[in-house]
Chains A and B, each alone.
Chain A
């Protein structure tokens, strides 16, 4: 896809959110997509990120990710809000993401009273995410009522006045994995070093250390990643714990408020 078109579209979505909501938070996983979104916001607002940047920290992310977080925080002067989540030993996979990340998010939403969260999901990641809308309502329990029609014709986003709950804003929805990498290359956006091949393996999608495994790859530069993606037949999230991508688990996770 044309990168100028995608960038413009994302700017528009962010600006429409800026106009409509009182307190916006940006979820930042330290992965390439949410880092690209931070970059887009910064470019749009001419060097400033006017929103809280929320990182849900379960304490078991990769050391490289934490170093990357500190680097970006200082370089882009980010108002970083860390939402601590506790990992419980007895649960893993679906239950782990469902309870930990989502719970931590619920708490920070309540504490800081965000009425909108910018989340960097893309349609091409998963069939359920493909059904999302640019602005997507969540109730007080963070549930997504996907049976409700999306109201964003003409790029005219119709937003309800919420007494409780919040809106998810999805500026990257129309982008593909390849588009994101092409944009990172064009704009020279810094990315987490774990994406690049080391000893024949690289991470294509980044979760926490417990449920992310690297994929076999020799792509040690952005150009090589772009080449690899043009020829791959596998899924980006293939390196995630199988559990999460199986059955209707994504649907259930999202219904619970997962990103």
Chain B
């Protein structure tokens, strides 16, 4: 199983790409397709693959995605989930909400414009905060060009120039020429240049993916020495050792069988555990309990300096120190109001990331703690 988020500016073809992938891999029923086409022929005067996903009246009438959604495709014996997000700048909170346990990103860029839209780079920066390393750039709408290879190389160079910026350190970029509308290079190869098809690249990256082996158990409930919670990463065998960073204690933990990541687990510890514990983690993880932590954040709007950070496993009142940039990555310090332990890690599986909320519980940004 692999989860891929489809990013990019509005009207660059994200929903069309997913819609056509659903059709080409036969992952959508005939009835659903008929329903989508009936409306698109009426409204858009053509068969619009995006209408499979864009189901709200306003999405279809106005031709944009309002709310993120996800669809599963099954191809070459692999389950792939594709996540569609809105591309409009005004809907960036909705876009962020699509980053749910994502493995890699597709970034759809229309070859029509001579300039790469700023929004594509905002999405890229957000993906980086979420720990995504592999980005498949889908250079779209190449069916509109007489010399698609030349256009592809031109757009690819424009992107590569910008990727040299330090904001994108560590990203691995792959370039695929496509036409989302015509289905070129989505599932079957059409262009003989570029790096194969979208589906092959996703599967290749999935198979070569390395996960870190740190066990991270997020506690849901505690009763004396019996705990329930979610194993976000790593493995638990029938007997494992885990560390409670809240109280600085080590425990032997027992389960009825072994579990792998993304399992709901009931476990028992060798002695009674304190009720304030929200996290049990492998001793090898880098945990910090300092009053002030270094962080990388991406704010989507102006906000007060006192904010709430919603971590995977806890909530933290904090204040931000340093220069804050809006719609960009800021490196700064965060002072914590309580001694809540945080993980410092680059890894995609780590619990170092957080959502930043204002007083009204609205998303104002995202971030991660760094070493």
Contact = CB atoms under 8 A, between A and B. Distances in A.
Interface of A: 1-2, 4-5, 7-9, 11-12, 15-16, 19, 44, 123-124, 126-128, 130-131, 133, 146-147, 149-156, 158, 160, 176, 232-235, 238, 245, 248, 251
B100 A11 contact: no
Contact of A153 (B31, B67, B91, B355): B355
Interface in B343-363: 353, 355, 357, 361, 363
A1 B220 CA distance: 25
B97 A149 contact: yes
Contacts of A126: 55
A130 B31 contact: no
Interface in B119-156: none
Contacts, number: 119
B193 to A, nearest CB: 35
B221 A12 contact: no
B262 A9 contact: yes
Contacts of B221: 15, 19
B312 A160 contact: no
Nearest to A150: B97
Interface of B: 1, 29-32, 35-36, 52-57, 66-72, 79, 91, 93-94, 96-97, 99-101, 220-221, 228, 230, 232, 262-264, 310-313, 353, 355, 357, 361, 363, 366
Nearest to A1: B79
Contacts of A245: 35
A176 B72 contact: yes
CB-CB nearest 6 A-B residue pairs: A127-B55, A11-B264, A235-B31, A149-B93, A8-B264, A233-B30
Contacts of A123: 69-71
B56 A158 contact: no
Nearest to B58: A147
Contacts of B361: 151, 158, 160
B31 A155 contact: no
Nearest to B60: A248
Nearest to B29: A235
B263 to A, nearest CB: 5
Most interface-central of B53, B67, B262, B312 (chain A CB within 10 A): B67
Given A234-B30, A235-B29, A153 B53 contact: no
B31 A234 contact: yes
Nearest to A173: B70
Nearest to B39: A247
A192 B184 CA distance: 45
A8 B263 contact: yes
A136 B361 CA distance: 15
Given A127-B55, A146-B66, A152 B220 contact: no
Contacts of B312: 154-156
Contacts of B262: 5, 8-9
B363 A151 contact: yes
Contacts of A146: 56, 66-67
Given A149-B67, A149-B96, A153-B355, 6 more contacts: A19-B221, A127-B36, A149-B94, A150-B68, A158-B355, A238-B31
Contacts of A1: 1, 72, 79
B202 to A, nearest CB: 17
A152 B100 contact: yes
19 contacts: A2-B1, A2-B79, A5-B263, A8-B230, A11-B264, A124-B72, A127-B35, A131-B56, A147-B67, A149-B67, A149-B91, A149-B93, A149-B363, A151-B363, A153-B100, A155-B312, A156-B313, A176-B72, A248-B57
Given A146-B56, A158-B361, A153 B263 contact: no
Contacts of B101: 154-155
Contact of A127 (B53, B93, B96, B366): B53
Contact of B57 (A12, A233, A251): A251
Contacts of A16: 220
Contacts of B31: 233-235, 238
Contacts of B96: 149, 153
Contact of B99 (A2, A153, A238): A153
A123 B68 CA distance: 12
A153 B56 contact: no
Contacts of A8: 230, 262-264
Contacts of A160: 361
A130 B311 contact: no
A4 B263 contact: yes
B145 to A, nearest CB: 32
B34 to A, nearest CB: 9
Contacts of A251: 55-57
A160 B52 CA distance: 31
Nearest to A236: B29
A156 B355 contact: yes
B310 A152 contact: no
A57 B156 CA distance: 60
Contacts of A232: 29
B264 A15 contact: yes
B297 to A, nearest CB: 14
Contacts of B70: 123, 130
Contacts of B32: 127, 235
A130 B220 contact: no
B274 to A, nearest CB: 18
A16 B35 CA distance: 36
A245 B93 CA distance: 30
A19 B228 CA distance: 12
Contacts of B99: 153
A8 B313 CA distance: 17
Given A8-B264, A235-B32, A131 B363 contact: no
A153 B313 CA distance: 12
